[in-house]
Amino acid sequence: MANAVENQTQDIRSMTNQELVHKICDVTKEERRITIEVLRLLREIERRQLFAELGHSSLFAYCTNVLRYSEAAACRRIEAMRAMRETPEIEVKLESGELGLSAVTQARTTIRHHEKFAKAKVTPEKRKDAMLSLCGQSKREADKALALEFSTPLPTTPVVQRETARGTTRVTIEFTEDEMEVFNEIKRLSGHPQNLKDTILRLAAEELTQLKKSRGEMPVRTRHSVSSKENLPSPAEEKNEANRRTSAMTKSPRSIPISIKRSAWDKAGGRCEFRNADGERCDTKHALEYDHISPVAMGGHSNKENLRLLCRQHNLLAATQTLGPKLMSSFVPAIR
Ligand SMILES: [Zn+2]
């Protein structure tokens, strides 16, 4: 092995300048061809939902965990693959190198934000024009052209959430100066230095308490470790909760009473319950949904035994397996 590497280094060292320049042009051309092939394969893997069947909660998780791409490299490839699906005309431009993966990723992200802001879809024709107009442009030129074509107010940066290897979640949020000022004011008025994360967590805890009260659920603490009598739900509150439960049950067979949701959640440990053919569990904590194991349309009930927690991708896979890809593809472009 060491010999083979040495020989290759020797071969390269003995090349003339002209040979060296020709060689690197050939190899980078091959590199682009292979990249396009990777994109085509990824597209088919997404269409078949194969990553979900193998137990991954997203195509991104599959690309980083199995294919060993960095997060950024995985993002660029997935974005470019989806852009190619939406606008087939860009394929030859990617292969010739006139269009780069980063430019396509940037264009797709910008268009997505624009659609969200304008609450309207960008037409396929306009999408195609925007993509093709980036051919041969530098990153700076491309960014500028996109900003002019699809203007959106700040902040345009999405909140990035990633599960880390340690089992924690890393969240990247970008604040404008005005937004940051709110936190600075809290810091100033409270009179002592505050950690931004602590502030956000405290506000989130307040919101959670409000939500639990408004939905008839008391804060979790009062159920398990009751420390004072005032924390116990009053008989009136208990009755409200009971009424709400009955009305939820009679409303629709699909609606799930909160108490049932809570026990299904506990049963799943707050994680996706999907297992692949080898019995490995998905376990993701993101984008979880309640799934009726036996569908309501086929007489399934909203009880603890018939409910499981699945992430969005695995819920989609379960629906595809029950209803068939033909029906599902009319809702989900990726599996067309
Ligand atoms: Zn899952």
Count how many domains the chain has. 3
Average pLDDT over residues 24-37: 96
CA of 269 to the centre of ligand 1 (A): 13
Assess whether 92 and 227 both reside in one domain: no
| Domain membership flag for residue 188 | no
Average pLDDT over residues 295-312: 88
CA of 284 to the centre of ligand 1 (A): 6
Assess whether 103 and 42 both reside in one domain: yes
Domain boundary among 249, 270, 303: 249
CB-proximal residues (5 Å) to ion ligand 1: 57, 272, 274, 282, 311, 314
Verdict on whether the full-model pTM lies above 0.75: no
Assess whether 219 and 324 both reside in one domain: no
| Domain membership flag for residue 309 | yes
Of 85, 89, 101, residue with least CA distance to 47: 85
CA of 254 to the centre of ligand 1 (A): 21
Assess whether 226 and 268 both reside in one domain: no
Residue 157 pLDDT: 55
Give the span between the Cα atoms of 144 and 147, in whole angstroms.
5
Average pLDDT over residues 22-39: 96
Domain that holds residue 226: 215-249
Assess whether 33 and 91 both reside in one domain: yes
pLDDT grade for 177, boundaries at 50, 70 and 90: confident
CA of 65 to the centre of ligand 1 (A): 14
Q: Give the pLDDT confidence of 211-251 residue by residue, as tens digits.
A: 877 777 754 443 333 333 444 444 454 455 555 544 444 56
CA of 288 to the centre of ligand 1 (A): 8
Assess whether 238 and 273 both reside in one domain: no
Strands 160-163 vs 169-172: parallel, antiparallel or unpaired: antiparallel
Assess whether 294 and 305 both reside in one domain: yes
CA of 213 to the centre of ligand 1 (A): 30
Highest-confidence segment of 38-42, 300-304, 308-312: 38-42
CA of 283 to the centre of ligand 1 (A): 6
CA of 61 to the centre of ligand 1 (A): 11
% of residues, the chain, pLDDT over 70: 85
- Indicate which CATH number applies to the domain containing 333: 1.10.30
Domain boundary among 157, 183, 198: 157
